[in-house]
Amino acid sequence: MLSLQFIREHTDVVRKSLADRQTASGDAAIDEILRLDERRRALLAEVEALRAEQNAAGKQIGAAKDPVERQRLIDAMKSVSTRVDDLTPILGAIEGTLDGLVMEIPNIPDAATPYGKSEDANRVAKQHGEEYTDAWRKPHYVLGEALDIIDFERGVRLSGSRFYVLKGAGARLQRALIAFMLELHIDKHGYREMYLPAMVKEETMWHSGQLPKFRDNLYHDAEEDFWFVPTAEVPLTNMHGGEILEPGTLPLHYVAYTPCFRREKMSAGRDVRGIKRGHQFDKVEMYKFCEPERSADELEAMLEDALNVCRALDLRYRVIEICTGDLGFNAARTYDVEVWSSGLGEWLEVSSVSNCGEFQARRANIRFRREPGGKPEFPHTLNGSGLALPRTMIAVMENYQREDGSIDVPDVLLPFMGGIARIGADR
RNA sequence: GGAGGGGUCGCAUAGUGGCCGAGUGCGGGCGCCUGCUAAGCGCUUAUCCCGAGCUAAUCGGGAUCGAGGGUUCGAAUCCCUCCCCCUCCGCCA
């Protein structure tokens, strides 16, 4: 979130941010925030002055020996007490409203984020390999059913639309990808592996910025305060919630594999075919906490870490630089990574690598000290997929398919496949 | 799920209505002293918010004793609700 002080003192920057993000009601929201903030501070001054009076009187009353004098002082404070009781709920209500409004203001785009009105203005920053296909190439959902490694029908039987079952070598292929990605990030890229809760409390969703904006996209338990994570970014952000990290702690590089759950209400009817967009999917997520001045470099490094997965799998990829109009709520700067799938004949987003600046750290109240006794500062946080499994599966299946309908297993996955080098050939 | 115990300043503890934002010990920091990496002595030891100030040093005020409500002129202390931890029983991947 943004600090009230920042909104107050850099109102023009915030207004520009909202305009660049194509937020229609941005100005009205800022006006309301400024108005409430002014009222809040006026009321706060009054309440605090009264409290100071109470505190001072409290000491006198405590010290008063003469019962008559004592009673006189107590009676005198009753009106002050009443006034405080009157004002406090008003102040509380204003702070509540204000807090709610500020929570809905998105992060300020980084200066490096290009301006653009919508995703059409995103530009390809880097591309490795050209689009290609062949007449005989099939989409993964055809391959998957023919090889009996993806079962859509049974997924629907169990859970409804947007669910599927991976079977045999299909399930194993995904597990191999997960293991390969994790080990690459741990052993070669220096991340520390985390096994995380897939359900978190509501508060945690606010801290990482999923709430209130994306309430419609989240699943939660009807009876208890359990919310299903839509990405490991949520628990990872909160790993150090409320902490002040000691000098020498940063940077922290974490990697976690989790299932992710999304309602996908926004994309009803889109991408319904195949495994491209399900309510449940797996993802390996990278996450960093670092000093503010290092986050730009850390972002580039994280992008490379994601691309290294694509390279190791010999996938054709491109990097999309997200423009202001398409930037996510929490992000100041984002690269998307897409890989080419030769069966569907499209680029698939397998990763989104973002620098959130101090936006999430402020929400989750994560701070660090540069030196012992130093002033606490907010670290920057970064997150990136490394990678999302279903789309990586699609690309691998479609790009490694042979004309006879079998699928070669990429070399780097062989150690995890228990001797299966080709799916469908020796079944 | 049942019964009991407990949550106070980095750690350990003291504290049953005002002299407690909070004592003591340990740990950490600064300084003094001591003719040797010890002992001793003194000081210090959180975070956030509002205001003033050169968007400074700093100063004034407010808040925070698991969280939220309540009683009261006044709550770490009393009452209620919730959360978490520990012990035992039950159940269980």
pLDDT in tens, A144-195: 999 999 999 999 999 999 999 999 999 999 999 999 999 999 999 999 999 9
- Read off the pTM: 0.94
Check whether A426 has a pLDDT greater than 60.
Answer: no
Query: How many Å apart are A373 CA and B45 C1'?
Result: 9
Query: How many Å apart are A106 CA and B54 C1'?
Result: 32
Spatial neighbors of A81 by CB under 8 A, at least 6 apart, are: A54
Query: How many Å apart are A376 CA and B41 C1'?
Result: 33
Judge if A328 and A377 occupy the same domain. Answer: yes
Judge if A203 and A335 occupy the same domain. Answer: yes
Check whether A136 has a pLDDT greater than 70.
Answer: yes
Check whether A134 has a pLDDT greater than 60.
Answer: yes
Judge if A309 and A339 occupy the same domain. Answer: yes
pLDDT, average across residues A54-79: 85
% pLDDT > 70, chain A: 99
A48: domain CATH number?
Answer: 1.10.287.40
Q: Using pLDDT thresholds of 50, 70 and 90, give the confidence band for residue A60.
A: confident
Residue A283 included in any domain: yes
Q: Which residue has the closest alpha carbon to B48 C1'?
A: A365
Residue A270 included in any domain: yes
Closest CA to A99 of A201, A4, A215, A234: A4
- Tokens encoding A1: 């979130």
Of A103, A128, A148, which closes a domain? A103
Residue A78 included in any domain: yes
Judge if A203 and A252 occupy the same domain. Answer: yes
Between the ranges A82-96, A134-148, A262-276, A358-372, where is the mean pLDDT highest? Answer: A134-148
Number of domains in chain A: 2
Query: How many Å apart are A59 CA and B32 C1'?
Result: 37
Judge if A91 and A219 occupy the same domain. Answer: no
d(Cα A391, Cα A344) in Å, to the nearest integer?
11
Judge if A139 and A48 occupy the same domain. Answer: no
Of A58, A75, A103, which closes a domain? A103
Query: How many Å apart are A239 CA and B43 C1'?
Result: 37
pLDDT in tens, A275-310: 999 999 999 999 999 999 999 999 999 999 999 999
Check whether A413 has a pLDDT greater than 60.
Answer: yes
pLDDT, average across residues A62-66: 79
| pLDDT for position A271 | 82
- Check if the beta carbon of residue A282 is closer than 8 Å to that of residue A258: yes
Residues with CB under 7 A from strand B: A 3-5, 9, 41, 44-45, 48-49, 51-52, 54-59, 61-63, 70, 74, 77-78, 80-81, 84, 92, 244, 367, 372-373, 375-376
Residue A369 included in any domain: yes
Residue A257 included in any domain: yes
Q: Using pLDDT thresholds of 50, 70 and 90, give the confidence band for residue A345.
A: very high
Residue A49 included in any domain: yes
Judge if A274 and A397 occupy the same domain. Answer: yes
| pLDDT for position A427 | 46
Judge if A71 and A128 occupy the same domain. Answer: no
pLDDT in tens, A74-130: 888 888 899 998 999 999 999 999 999 999 999 999 999 999 999 999 999 999 999
Query: How many Å apart are A173 CA and B93 C1'?
Result: 26
Domain containing A196 equals 119-423
Q: Is the dihedral of CA A245, A247, A250, A252 positive or negative?
A: negative
Judge if A246 and A331 occupy the same domain. Answer: yes
| pLDDT for position A256 | 98
pLDDT, average across residues A325-347: 97
| pLDDT for position A425 | 65
Of A44, A74, A103, which closes a domain? A103
Check whether A261 has a pLDDT greater than 70.
Answer: yes
Nucleotides of chain B within 7 Å of a protein C-beta?
18-19, 28-29, 47-51, 55, 61-63, 69, 73-74
Query: How many Å apart are A365 CA and B83 C1'?
Result: 20
- Check if the beta carbon of residue A193 is closer than 8 Å to that of residue A181: no
Find which nucleotide's C1' atom is closest to A80's CA. B73
Pick the range with the lowest mean pLDDT from A17-26, A240-249, A344-353: A240-249
Average pLDDT, chain A: 94
Find which nucleotide's C1' atom is closest to A372's CA. B29
Judge if A184 and A52 occupy the same domain. Answer: no
Residue A405 included in any domain: yes
Query: How many Å apart are A201 CA and B83 C1'?
Result: 12
ipTM of the complex: 0.90
pLDDT, average across residues A216-231: 91
Judge if A16 and A54 occupy the same domain. Answer: yes
| pLDDT for position A225 | 87
Residue A112 included in any domain: no
A146: domain CATH number?
Answer: 3.30.930.10
pLDDT, average across residues A33-56: 92
Find which nucleotide's C1' atom is closest to A56's CA. B74
Q: Using pLDDT thresholds of 50, 70 and 90, give the confidence band for residue A372.
A: confident
Judge if A68 and A203 occupy the same domain. Answer: no
